[in-house]
Structure 1
Amino acid sequence: MTTTTTATASSKVLRVPPADPETAAAHFHRRFTFEADVADVHADVESAAGGFVLVDSRSSEAWAQGHIPGAVHLPTDEIPARAAELVPPGSVVVTYCWGPGCNGATRAAYEFAAAGYRVKEMLGGFEYWSREGFPVEDAAGLRRSAPDPLTAPVSGGGASCGC
């Protein structure tokens, strides 16, 4: 339910007024230049749209536990020494780590940017990739979990929240 009323001094949401529409549009556009959604990354991976290299910045133990098929494994601490060896210079990079409670993908994105790459961070990380029911790869092969109804629609395979 949405209610339109005059803001009162007791509103915690409106104690700092929202930006004007032009400033807000610029802010949200800017965020899109730094972030990619799990569902959008999945759609591009599935369609082979290309245009970016997906990089898993987690440890070798985490990678072995499961990773996104087709991702390049490059732990954050190794990026300065090994990025050019594993990711062609000039590539757009999309980084991911565990999930929203971890800033590893942000650290990895920083390292790639510092090395001269254009980069985006995949919001939600490996956690939301797997929770949305997208394929995960490990030594045993590919597997899929049922979509978590709190992250993606159960019907339709969890491919998109529809937003």
Structure 2
Amino acid sequence: MASLVREIPAAPSAIALMHFSNRLTFETDCSDVFSSQEAGELDFVLLDVRGPLAFERGHVPGAINLPGRLLNAEMLAAYPKTTLFVVYCAGPHCNGANKAAVKLAALGYPVKEMIGGVTGWLDEGFTLSVPVTTPISCAC
């Protein structure tokens, strides 16, 4: 008796190669983003598409915040059409990055999703940027 894994046969190698190669054209992972940042290879714009409050609570270092609902040609006018956007949201339970990727692609920009989002970033052991608040001192 075959295992549940083998119950449905694996795709032929040529088809699997095409499938998995194609996936890599649509996504990147947290480790690749982190390594690129560490190496100073910043040939992409990292875009946090969550709301401003979530962004303020913690975001991937180097990311800019542009909530997905605000993505439009006017908001992106300063970026050449060759700009590669890497989008992320909260994590695997959120489809905000997918929605943002659809909008960016429709506007003619190359785009990849950082799979895992904030959850994946933290799972890798990387830290988030959080705003630094100045302590209030008492002149008592």
Report the AA paired with residue 100 of structure 1.
P
Contact kept in structure 2, 1:56 and 1:75, CA below 8 Å: yes
Aligned 1:7-26 pairs, distance under 5 A: 8=1, 11-26=3-18
Distance 1:88 1:130, change over 3 A: farther
Distance 1:115 1:28, change over 3 A: same
1-side partners of 2:98 and 2:77: how far apart? Answer: 19
Q: CA deviation at 1:17?
A: 1.1
Query: Does 2:112 align with 1:126?
Result: no
Which segments of structure 1 move beyond 6 Å, counting only runs of 4 or more? Answer: none
Query: Does 2:77 align with 1:84?
Result: yes
Match of 1:94 in 2: 86
Match of 2:60 in 1: 68
Report the AA paired with residue 136 of structure 1.
L
What are the ranges of 5 or more consecutive residues in structure 1 without an aligned counterpart?
1-7, 142-163
What are the ranges of 5 or more consecutive residues in structure 2 without an aligned counterpart?
134-140
2-side partners of 1:131 and 1:26: how far apart? Answer: 29
Q: CA deviation at 1:69?
A: 1.6
Report the AA paired with residue 64 of structure 2.
V
Count of equivalent residues: 132
1-side partners of 2:80 and 2:55: how far apart? Answer: 21
Q: CA deviation at 1:45?
A: 1.1
Report the AA paired with residue 60 of structure 1.
P
Match of 1:150 in 2: none
Structure with larger RCO (C-alpha < 8 A, sep 6+)? 2
Q: CA RMSD in A?
A: 1.5
Percent identity of the aligned residues?
42
Q: CA deviation at 1:135?
A: 3.0
Query: Does 2:19 align with 1:27?
Result: yes
SS at match of 1:68: coil
Q: What's the CA shift string for 1:7-28, capped at 9, x where partnerless? A: x3x5322222111111100100
Q: What's the CA shift string for 1:68-112, capped at 9, x where partnerless? A: 121111100001141224x44320110000011111111111111
2-side partners of 1:119 and 1:42: how far apart? Answer: 17
- For normalisation by structure 1, the TM-score amounts to 0.75
